[in-house]
Structure 1
């Protein structure tokens, strides 16, 4: 991604950004909005922008903390009157696939992925079908679309029938506070809270079927004879629903392989614990079949932790040659686990390259590229 700033016009353009996700519990889209808006506001004068954030009023019935309220906010929360209150913007940026019913301002929309359109399991519910209709309506009205990776850009164009010229790939970035632990504090935290005193593989990418956690557990079982005796697999997070088709239960898989003392399910965790688990991990692993970007391996790499990722969609784009990119099979994943947990020289080299690679993804660069999209949309 280029760090070259666009030439600022004599008069900055006003850009309104739907920042409603900043008022919700932590999420991937919330991290995107926070990282991007912070970088845009810091550079807005140089980028020829006047950034205005749109957030729900406290206590308002359309506050998007509930699925119905989220839909109502997406459809009716941003009105012409709302836009007048933030200065009649030249461009409206929607950071997820949604659009107000009436929008007088030209729209830029970020589409993070098209998982429901690519994977049939994810479009079975009525709510998801409604969301897909919303996706199609929004993409048709947007002047330009931002995707987080070239893989996502290609899929958006293919499955939604959108001209590639209207889609711009702008990689995201890890939380800039993520960095290697040089004090030993992270190791102390994970030892005290979860008894993790030896090497461990870490995953916190989500529980849904496409994440391939049962496969990851099976691969870990296959790798055990070649791993250090105290090696563990640590999985963070929790299912978002009781739908076992979308969120296959892991406990039966763990019992099947007799791994109750080797696979640790730690549930939902705080940001501070998440940081410590990244920093103290030996290896990050994700066998995900589909990602729009691949933020979690990038977060691990920012902490100097090399990653094993599936050779699918955007993951190779993110990891590059700083990790092991393998086919999501039991044998290939197991072999990669053994390699990275036993080859000290390779691990050291990939840890160094991971830090360098993670440094190539910054919100500073994302803001510059996004500003170019805003200016282009304002001229269309």
Structure 2
């Protein structure tokens, strides 16, 4: 088996800092690590950007790498002291496609398949689709691979699968050919760095980007309603932000005198994130859209009580084992449930059982085996 894997979507900041922060990169790394544990890494070649080479050589030394280069791009990158990336042109100019053609591969896997990452080649392709949020915002241009019979589709949730079927109007045969393989969840929280400002305090945690679809303002408004009824601190922690939304949140905090009650953290270290996740009193995700929904599952595996919405894939990803609001935009409903869980948290026995079920359900090697079954059918 000789399979090409597209890894050009990994973020530049991730490669530079050698710290994975995007859910799609973390998912791919989990599966690649599982292939290594299973002794299967020799079956794969990772296609990587020229300016990500050192990161991949260090992070995935067991894999063969195909480093995509084009002299005008590398020169521009050097002259601009790294400010010019230009890696999108590796695909637009056909460099990626030619490299795939020369490699003698049996098939190709796109672990994060969207309009701008997919490249049509002569090889059978496995396309993992996390969500089609861009389609709902920008239209279907560039998404022709959805109906391409040379492309086998897999999704990370039934929500995404059904969204694809309905949005693209797939016929029964094409719809039935789509496989669901959820994201794996594995993370090491043994290394921790305490956040001094939260030492010894009760706090409610939301680990999500500061963007509209994550709905942080509803949580902020809910907390404002109960600020006199709890001594807990509200902590937001994200690795990406929409500056307008972030400014709106800061204005709300100022207008409602929440300076000492709310923390807006940004791009904390892995060790700090581990500490935040494992020491929270309550985890709340008010998100309106998730192709999968990783962070509430992580929190539940850490035996933290979780409140979530039921939007898109969240109820599915958490297996219906957590606490849920019916209306994700209703701050009154969310405030009431937060107070309830702070006063009457889930028992240690219940939290342990939830953690056990979720850990077993999202074990990487089990899911990697399912990917291997799909690869074997592509040849």
| TM range, smaller chain | 0.7 to 0.9
SS in 1 for 2:188: coil
Q: Does 1:51 align with 2:44?
A: yes
For structure 2, the 5+ residue unaligned runs are: 15-19, 54-68
157 and 74 in structure 1: CA distance in 2 versus 1, 3 angstrom threshold: farther
Shift of 1:367: 0.6
Contact 1:208 1:248 in 2 (8 A): no
d(CA) in 2 for partners of 1:108, 1:16 = 10
331 and 268 in structure 1: CA distance in 2 versus 1, 3 angstrom threshold: same
Which residue of structure 2 aligns with residue 336 of structure 1? 337
Which residue of structure 2 aligns with residue 147 of structure 1? 155
Which residue of structure 1 aligns with residue 164 of structure 2? 156
Among candidates 5, 29, 32, match of residue 34 of structure 1: 29
332 and 249 in structure 1: CA distance in 2 versus 1, 3 angstrom threshold: same
SS in 1 for 2:355: helix
d(CA) in 2 for partners of 1:44, 1:212 = 42
TM-score (norm 1): 0.80
Contact 2:156 2:182 in 1 (8 A): yes
Contact 2:4 2:100 in 1 (8 A): no
Deviations 1:26-59 (CA, angstroms, capped at 9, x unpaired): 22221111111121233255x9x82222223348
Deviations 1:155-209 (CA, angstroms, capped at 9, x unpaired): 122113343223211111223324xx6xxx85x712x2x3342211111211111
Q: Does 1:94 align with 2:110?
A: yes
356 and 102 in structure 1: CA distance in 2 versus 1, 3 angstrom threshold: closer
d(CA) in 1 for partners of 2:301, 2:9 = 24
Shift of 1:140: 3.5
Q: Does 1:209 align with 2:220?
A: no
d(CA) in 2 for partners of 1:239, 1:56 = 22
d(CA) in 2 for partners of 1:67, 1:148 = 33
Aligned residue-pair number: 338
RMSD between aligned residues = 2.8
d(CA) in 1 for partners of 2:306, 2:187 = 18
Shift of 1:66: 8.0
d(CA) in 1 for partners of 2:26, 2:84 = 19
Q: Does 1:84 align with 2:102?
A: yes
d(CA) in 2 for partners of 1:67, 1:312 = 38
147 and 331 in structure 1: CA distance in 2 versus 1, 3 angstrom threshold: same
Which residue of structure 2 aligns with residue 221 of structure 1? 224
Greater Cα shift, 137-146 or 273-282: 137-146
For structure 1, the 5+ residue unaligned runs are: 1-12, 124-128
34 and 238 in structure 1: CA distance in 2 versus 1, 3 angstrom threshold: closer
d(CA) in 2 for partners of 1:166, 1:249 = 44
Written as runs of structure 1 = structure 2, the 5 A alignment for 1:267-346 is: 267-327=266-326, 328=328, 329-344=330-345, 346=346
Which residue of structure 2 aligns with residue 4 of structure 1? none
Which residue of structure 2 aligns with residue 6 of structure 1? none
Greater Cα shift, 207-216 or 15-24: 15-24
TM-score (norm 2): 0.80
d(CA) in 1 for partners of 2:300, 2:48 = 32
Which residue of structure 2 aligns with residue 197 of structure 1? 200
Deviations 1:112-142 (CA, angstroms, capped at 9, x unpaired): 1111233x4xx3xxxxx6xx522x1333435
Which residue of structure 1 aligns with residue 125 of structure 2? 107
Shift of 1:275: 1.1
358 and 377 in structure 1: CA distance in 2 versus 1, 3 angstrom threshold: same
d(CA) in 2 for partners of 1:170, 1:66 = 37
